[in-house]
Amino acid sequence: MDRLQEIGRIIPRSGKEIKNSRLGLGLEKLDRDLYDPTNAYDYLAASGAKWIRLQSGWQRTEKQEGVYDFAWLDEIVDALIARGMTPWIDLCYGNSLYTESAKEYFGAVGVPPIATERERNAWDNYVRAIARHFAGRVNVFEIWNEPDGDWCWKHGANGTEYGEFAARTAKALHEVDENIYAIGGVLAHMPLPFLRKALDAGMGNEIDALSYHRYNPEESEIERDFYALRMMLDEYNPEIEIIQGESGGQSSAQGMGAMHGYAWTEEKQAKYLLRHRITDLHLPMPFTCHFTALDMAEALKGKTGDLASYKDYGYFGVLSAQFGEDGRCTGEYKPKKAYYALQNLAAMLSSADVEPATLSISRRVRPSRRVNGTDCTDPISIYCFEREGKRAICYWRPAKLLTETYEGTVSFLNGCRFSAPLRLVNPMDGKVYALPDSIDQLAENDMLENLPLLDSPLILMEEGFAAFA
């Protein structure tokens, strides 16, 4: 980037400023009271993420049969709304008042209330109660979490069981308000046979959207997986939308949870965020939600009364946290590199008026003194977007995230008549650069020659696509 002149930085936009964002961020595990989110609210608002995923906590809410205390969740929902964000609620997990086996697991995680009519009715009552209580504040509800995994469906994942459960839950939500947006699936993997059974069991007739989670270092399979889900859903109801509800990388190799033990760093976590979320934003989904806001215990396999069993900390947060002796997050919370990457991405690409585009642009391999040879000849990822007539191109070399870094050059032959001047943005730090004449040769031969190319996204934009100062 040393050949370019830095001329400014992307101006962050808060949740209030981005009216219809397609980016979200998680505040998971609230159901187990593993942290106080208060110190994170202002950071969340300033990040530009709009859709904030909350886990509801049946066990935390109904401690006496038929008595629901939503005060703890009211405070969180109201704080987010006041700052311009849109909370959506994941309905989970079990309750030991009704299911004996739930007493064994911390937070009744992964114990679905399905064995008896008493359990099923108690769950339906809770679902209707939370929908009524948050009417006018929350309109999007997700049904359970990762039911295709034994950690969240403890007696063994079963597509038919979950499909019946999800269909019944969606009906209970729609009894309260037919306009509630009910999300099913919440899939941990890509279990297409499991999903088929769930849809056949009635879920395909009742849900408004399907959500899925993706924890894989590279983003190469995102589009393939999305369209595999799309094709199956089209058989049941083409109106069912698809949401990516959880996906993120860690900032430390010491973390537990998904992809634990991998050689994670803050830099790799930020690259993961940009590469995965840009790919999502180019797909036809209402929003994509990054995992997660804060470092916290994973706590999916915790046993009641066994503190050590749920002191299994994950470092997925875009905000760092410390941990107390009780396993809860502590401290003021501090932004990581991934936080600033999210902030820059939200300011540039998350608004609903930013549309995926197909632009007339192609690669050329040109001599490149910069790398003592030629431009990159490997495949690169290119995603184009448009906002109010202004265009932008996101591009990167999809190097192996955990084992490679890459810096080179790439050349583009332009056929879409970009308007001058063009600016190059690095969303990792928000820096905006002017292109030297040696790169910007559009006036002479419609060539952008030897642009910088990294293993994390760079964004080439027409001035006016995004604000900077």
Residue by residue, DSSP assigns 378-446 as S--EEEEEEETTEEEEEEE----TTT---EEEEEEEE-S-PPSPEEEEETTTTEEEEPPTTTEEHHHHS
pLDDT tens-digit series, residues 110-119: 999 999 999 9
Indicate the DSSP class of residue 294.
B
Q: What was the pLDDT predicted at 26? A: 97
Tell the burial category of 239 from Cβ atoms under 10 Å away from its Cβ (0-12, 13-18, 19+). Answer: exposed
pLDDT at 15 over 90: no
pLDDT at 388 over 90: yes
Mean local confidence (pLDDT), 148-176: 98
pLDDT tens-digit series, residues 440-468: 988 788 999 999 999 999 999 999 999 99
Structure tokens at 66: 């038929």
Cα within 13 Å of Cα(388), Cβ side: 9
Question: Which residue's structure tokens are 């180019």?
Answer: 282
- The identity of residue 184, as a single letter, is G
Structure tokens at 122: 């108690």
Cβ proximity of 188 and 196 under 8 Å: no
User: Which stretches does DSSP call E strand in 43-151?
Assistant: 51-55, 86-91, 140-143
Structure tokens at 107: 């937070």
Cα within 13 Å of Cα(177), Cβ side: 18
pLDDT at 429 over 90: yes
Cβ proximity of 27 and 77 under 8 Å: no
Euclidean distance between CA atoms 202 and 184, whole angstroms: 11
Cβ proximity of 165 and 91 under 8 Å: no
User: Any residues with CB less than 8 A from the CB of 21 and at least 6 apart, and which?
Assistant: 15, 48, 49, 50, 51, 287, 346, 350, 351, 352
Q: Write b or e for each residue in 118-146: b if 16 or more Cβ atoms lie within 10 A of its Cβ, otherwise e.
A: ebbebbbebbebbbebbeeebbbbbbbbb
pLDDT tens-digit series, residues 30-83: 999 999 999 999 999 999 999 999 999 999 999 999 999 999 999 999 999 999
Residue 65 CA, chain-centre distance (Å), reads: 35
Structure tokens at 207: 């849900």
pLDDT band of 197, cuts 50, 70, 90: very high
pLDDT tens-digit series, residues 123-132: 999 999 999 9
Mean local confidence (pLDDT), 238-244: 98
pLDDT tens-digit series, residues 303-359: 999 999 999 999 999 999 999 999 999 888 999 999 999 999 999 999 989 999 999
pLDDT band of 107, cuts 50, 70, 90: very high
Q: What was the pLDDT predicted at 20? A: 86
pLDDT tens-digit series, residues 171-195: 999 999 999 999 999 999 999 999 9
Residues 176/177/181/187 CA torsion (nearest 10 deg): 20
Q: How many residues in total does the chain contain?
A: 469
Euclidean distance between CA atoms 298 and 255, whole angstroms: 9
pTM for the model stands at 0.97
